[in-house]
Structure 1
Amino acid sequence: MTKKLALMSAMAAMLAVGGCAKKAPKDLPPPPACCGPEESDRVIPGSQQDFVANVSSDRIFFGFDQFNVDAEDMAILQSQAAWLARNPGVRVTLEGHADERGTRDYNIALGERRANSAKNYLATLGVDPGRVDVISYGKERPAAAGSDEAAYAKNRRAVTVVIERP
């Protein structure tokens, strides 16, 4: 009997609290002037968003078991080097990736060779190597799911990521 009474009291209290909920005002104040939609849509110079918007691509792709920079990759990296020249205070990380084939250790080493190939080419274009960090994720961060050549091709890549801006 006391359990029933306690349960009914708890239910009555919940109903009483629920009935006292505040209603939203009919007219909401405008958002602060500093944070309107036009401000949040603005691309910040030197940011990752600025980088992606102003280079031909933030990534280059490799053939199976390859880490050489080909002509198409060179054009992309030239675009990235030009952006980095316009943004001298920016530091980037080159992320090396591999497809799922091969051992974890092999793919980590292959991803590092891919990222270093891109870094070395950027250096030949005048980018200070001290502004470029390298990391390899091997097969741990695939861009595309699947176990077919289309997925493998998307996963064999080096991606440039802005990590620090002035």
Structure 2
Amino acid sequence: MQLKPYARTLAVALSLAFVAGCSSSGGTQDGSMDGSRDGAAGTGVAGSGQVSGSGMGNGSGQQADGRIPEQRTIYFEFDSDRIRSEFEPVLASHARYLRSNGNARVVLQGHTDERGTREYNMGLGERRARSVERFLSVQGVSPSQVEVVSYGEERPAARGNNEEAYAQNRRVIFAY
């Protein structure tokens, strides 16, 4: 009987659809590759669940008045979960904000480019978000303020099969 393989495939497909559907909604993603931003709007994918945030300011994401840091996206190298040194000031400003606002909560959304299997990319997105979580923890942020979510390749910031698009998709977003 041919029903059993189809039923198994259907069960797997429904499970993946359920996991993909369990996500937040709204907003767009902004940010730049080098830690600075000129104030122009970013190019997020509408309805993708990404949050807004521009990297305007002095390039380090620091806010003198206790507001949420403006730059809310950091980027990663291909197949890496290592935090690039150029984004450490951005992470430090988020850590300062979270330490000084004990009721604030953040979701670290890990993303990848489309290369690799879906399963591998879900794991890589989680490893990226966990590396940011570890950085924040070392800076004194309470674990109860941080949640980690991986979207893998499912929510691209840029469409395309070139290095520029891939680089924009390898990221972690701070969703407050």
Same fold (TM over 0.5): yes
Deviation at 1:86, TM superposition (A): 2.7
Structure 2 CA distance, aligned partners of 1:51 and 1:118?
A: 19
1:120 aligns with 2:129: no
Structure 1 CA distance, aligned partners of 2:97 and 2:53?
A: 9
Structure index of larger Rg = 1
Q: Which runs of 5+ in 1 are unaligned?
A: 1-47
Deviation >4 Å, runs of 4+: 48-54
Aligned to 2:85: 71
Instruction: Report how many aligned residue pairs link the two structures.
Output: 115
1:95 aligns with 2:109: yes
Task: Indicate the RMSD between aligned Cα atoms, in angstroms.
Answer: 2.1
Deviation at 1:70, TM superposition (A): 2.0
Structure 1 CA distance, aligned partners of 2:100 and 2:53?
A: 12
1:158 aligns with 2:172: yes
Q: Which runs of 5+ in 2 are unaligned?
A: 1-50, 56-66
Q: Greater relative contact order (Cα 8 A, min sep 6): structure 1 or 2?
A: 1
Structure 1 CA distance, aligned partners of 2:156 and 2:53?
A: 24
1:58 and 1:159 in contact (8 A); partners too: yes
Normalising by structure 2, report the TM-score.
0.61
Aligned-pair identity (%): 45
CA deviations 1:30-73 (Å, max 9, x no partner) are xxxxxxxxxxxxxxxxxx87998742510110000000112112
Normalising by structure 1, report the TM-score.
0.64
> Quick check: which one's helix share is greater?
1
Q: 1:88 to 1:51 in 2, by over 3 A?
A: farther
Structure 2 CA distance, aligned partners of 1:114 and 1:50?
A: 19
CA deviations 1:111-139 (Å, max 9, x no partner) are 00000000000001110112100010000
